[in-house]
Amino acid sequence: MAAEPVLIVHIADHLQVGGCCRVMESFCRARAHPAVRHVMAGGRPDQVFLDQLRRDGVAAYALDADGGIPREALAGHAALAVMAHRSGEETEWWNHTLAQAAALRPLALLERKIFGYPDRSDAGRRFDVVFCNSISTLHRHWRESGRPDLTRYLARHRVLYNATLFERPPATLAESRARARAQWGAPEGAFVIGDLTRPDLKKHGAMLDVLAPALAKRLPEVFVVTRSYPESLAASVGARMGGRYRNLPPSARLDEVAATYAGLDALAHFSALGESYGMAIAEAMRCGLPCVVNSTPGWKHDNAQVELVRDGENGFVANEPGAMLEAIETLARDPDLRRRFGDAGRARFDSGPMSLPAVVTTVEREALLRAASAGIVSAERVPPPPPAVGSAEIARWLAAREAGERFDRPARDPGPLLWRASVAARAFSWRVRALLA
């Protein structure tokens, strides 16, 4: 029998730099059980990215021309499970690729649902278990599927937070921090706040640009760092911050991204459409950074950012511009609070359902349970259930979402009416630009 009798193949419709592939890479690097091996495969491969994965020891393959898993990826294993990482929208590519996977007679066909779109396609009916990457994603899918009986729905649909293989090395923290801040030109003693989301104005807007003049006036020590901002937005933020700003080029290397987090004091993450998970937020929390996020209530928007950041516990949730400024100013003035928030955020990934071992073990256990039933591995090798998001917690969150709970804090001082009007107008102008782009 093979040393690793169970193979789990993670499939995406693209093999390129991005959050989806980072999650698949995390499974490959962080397997929890010696009887399981993870590999990743996808369509539309970026050859540079594929070569980098292989140099780093990750088993990564491009799907063959017919959408099938290459034979070399399947060799040497007694049993197969397939996990599809997808948005959930029906496409011919997924219908065809999953039909190819099903023809291999896998032990289990699993889905990691990235967004809550309903899926009534042939592909959607094939899955044994559907893992939603947040309660927010599950809520949206449950609602848009017609609000079926929740007990029956949860028998097949579960919450599985994203695998987050990301940590700031404590031994090199001081050195990495000093080097990053020197490269950015941040002055000694600066309070450095960053926004490391992808450059998507339709989703993330331009709130740091909108807040920049007030930030610069109220916090002379503030320095803003962003990554991959569009040129026009970066130029505007830099001018409005009086030069206390650095926009970094895109990077797929974890060491470079980790160095960026090392140089920050806090993360500011404001999304117009909400997050189905919030990878940048999770990475920042894993690195011990306090976060300031906004809330996007209502079932039509994702709102997983408030699952990650609990207001007053490991960061702030602020919707109004005045509340956002107050949250950033509070963190800038109170290093002890930053430390407490950072420790509380990191603790959420050290144990419980968000921890990497719990996420990986959940998927491996699904495959091993079926392998044990087939006599491929002994029942003693099946791990016990890891911490998971229970049905009672899901029901509580769904009730709060249905009621339109905001989860945010009001501003103590909303600011002058004229300022609020100018902020709203500028935010709207960026939204219009994004829609016209």
**DSSP letters along 334-386, please?**
-HHHHHHHHHHHHHHHHSSTTSHHHHHHHHHHHHHHHHHHTTSS-GGGSPPPP
The C-alpha atoms of residue 178 and residue 176 are separated, in whole angstroms, by: 6
**Tally of domains within the chain:** 2
Same-domain pairing of 282 and 336: yes
Kindly report whether the global pTM for this prediction surpasses the value 0.85. Answer: yes
Domain membership of residue 154 as a residue range: 6-164+354-396
Same-domain pairing of 296 and 378: no
Quick check: is 1 in a domain?
A: no
Answer whether 181's CB lies under 8 Å from 192's CB.
yes
Quick check: is 10 in a domain?
A: yes
The C-alpha atoms of residue 230 and residue 240 are separated, in whole angstroms, by: 16
Nearest CA-CA partner of 40 in 95, 85, 77, 89 = 85
Same-domain pairing of 27 and 75: yes
The C-alpha atoms of residue 49 and residue 34 are separated, in whole angstroms, by: 27
Quick check: is 402 in a domain?
A: no
Kindly report the CATH number assigned to the domain that includes residue 312: 3.40.50.2000
Answer whether 302's CB lies under 8 Å from 136's CB.
yes
Q: Which two tokens stand for residue 355?
A: 């921890």
Same-domain pairing of 147 and 24: yes
Quick check: is 318 in a domain?
A: yes
The C-alpha atoms of residue 288 and residue 291 are separated, in whole angstroms, by: 9
Q: Number of C-alpha atoms within 13 angstroms, CB side, residue 94?
A: 24
Answer whether 153's CB lies under 8 Å from 313's CB.
no
Same-domain pairing of 346 and 364: no
- pLDDT for position 1: 46
Strand order in the sheet with 108-113: 60-62, 36-42, 6-12, 79-86, 108-113, 129-132, 157-159
Quick check: is 401 in a domain?
A: no
Buried b (16+ CB within 10 A) or exposed e, 184-196: bebeeebbbbbbb
Show pLDDT as tens, one digit a residue, over the chain (437 residues): 456 799 999 999 999 888 888 899 999 999 899 999 999 999 989 998 899 899 989 999 999 877 789 888 888 888 999 999 998 776 788 888 888 898 899 999 999 999 888 777 666 778 999 999 999 999 999 998 899 999 999 999 999 999 887 765 555 667 888 999 999 999 999 999 999 876 666 666 688 888 999 999 999 999 999 988 888 889 999 999 999 999 998 876 777 888 899 999 999 998 878 899 999 999 999 999 999 999 988 767 789 999 999 999 999 999 888 999 999 999 999 999 999 999 999 999 998 999 999 999 999 999 999 999 999 999 999 999 999 999 999 999 999 988 888 888 888 888 888 888 888 888 878 777 777 76
Q: Which residues pair with 6 in a beta bridge?
A: 36, 79
- pLDDT for position 427: 81
Quick check: is 116 in a domain?
A: yes
Answer whether 281's CB lies under 8 Å from 287's CB.
no
The C-alpha atoms of residue 417 and residue 297 are separated, in whole angstroms, by: 24
Same-domain pairing of 137 and 228: no
Same-domain pairing of 75 and 224: no
| CA distances for 51 relative to 59, 61, 66, 256, angstroms | 10, 10, 22, 18
Residue type at position 4: E
